[in-house]
Amino acid sequence: MSKLTENLDQLLDSYSFDQLSVEQQEVALSQITREEYTLMREVILSSKQLKAPAIPPLDKDLHQQLKQAYRKQHGFKGKTTAQRWSALALGVLLGALTTAGYHWLRTDPQPERVEEAAPVVMTDTIYVQKTDTLYVTVESEPKVITKEIIKYIDRETEVLTVPITPDQPLPLAYQSEPIINKQLQDTLQGNYFNNIDLADIIPMKVGKSVGEETELMDLLREMPSDGLDNE
């Protein structure tokens, strides 16, 4: 759209052809004739006057019908009059209660009641979760060792007091000591003399007699005499 046309529309909206300046008339006449300008302006003015055609007014019930139709279809989010009244009544009630409570606190006739009041006993349960370390020293006697000693003594007593026949097996306490067992068995069998073969007990040493020791004897012969032998 050219600048001239744009200017022409502005002129048409605002001025009749006679009201235009010479320059404006030249702009207008460069595009349309004077008659066209006059007629176009008349169209504009007449159209503006036509903007309120006389028709029957809108039905007053349309507004309510519209709201009811919308509520029916969608459910209106706003509050109804009854809801507003309820909210107001609740507000008034709360306000009255607050005011009454405030006055009651301020005009309490027996403030000393607080001093005379019985102590309040409250029982409650408190759950405490706490972790701690306790060191406990426990002393005990060596009962096991003492018992072993007593047991040993009992065994000796048993050996000494209980007669044992040769065919009877030895008490278990002595079975682990073969040498003493044998000696003990010999004693019990009446072998009062020394019938004990020491070789069984002590390993025999094998050696030579003095006379068999030739080197020792040669050494003795060569030794000077002190004269005592001859006396």
Partner 1 sequence: MNLFKKKYHQYSDEALVALLAEGKEAAFDELYQRYAEQMYHFFYKMLYQDQELAADFCQTLFMKVFEKAETFSSAHKFSTWLYAIASNLCKNEYRRKSKPKPIIYLAEGHMQQPLAPGFIDKEIFNRYLQSAVNKLDDKHRLCFILRYQEDKTIQEISEVLGCPLGTVKSRIHHTLKKLAIQLHQFDPKQKKLGNE
Residues 67-126 that bind partner 1 (CB under 8 A): 67, 69-70, 74, 76-79, 84-85, 88
Q: Which stretch binds partner 1 (CB under 8 A): 21-29, 46-54, 96-104, 152-160?
A: 46-54
User: Toward partner 1, which CB reaches closer, 91 or 171?
Assistant: 91
Taking the complex as a whole, the smallest distance from the CB of residue 38 to partner 1 amounts, in Å, to 6
Q: Any contact of residue 214 with partner 1 (CB under 8 A)? A: no
- Residue 219 CA, chain-centre distance (Å), reads 99
Taking the complex as a whole, the smallest distance from the CB of residue 21 to partner 1 amounts, in Å, to 21
21, 34, 63, 89: which one binds partner 1 (CB under 8 A): 63
Residues 26-45 that bind partner 1 (CB under 8 A): 32, 35-36, 38-40, 42-44
Taking the complex as a whole, the smallest distance from the CB of residue 24 to partner 1 amounts, in Å, to 17
Number of residues that bind partner 1 (CB under 8 A): 44
Q: Any contact of residue 22 with partner 1 (CB under 8 A)? A: no
Residues in touch with partner 1 (CB under 8 A): 1, 5-6, 8-9, 12, 32, 35-36, 38-40, 42-44, 46-59, 62-63, 65-67, 69-70, 74, 76-79, 84-85, 88
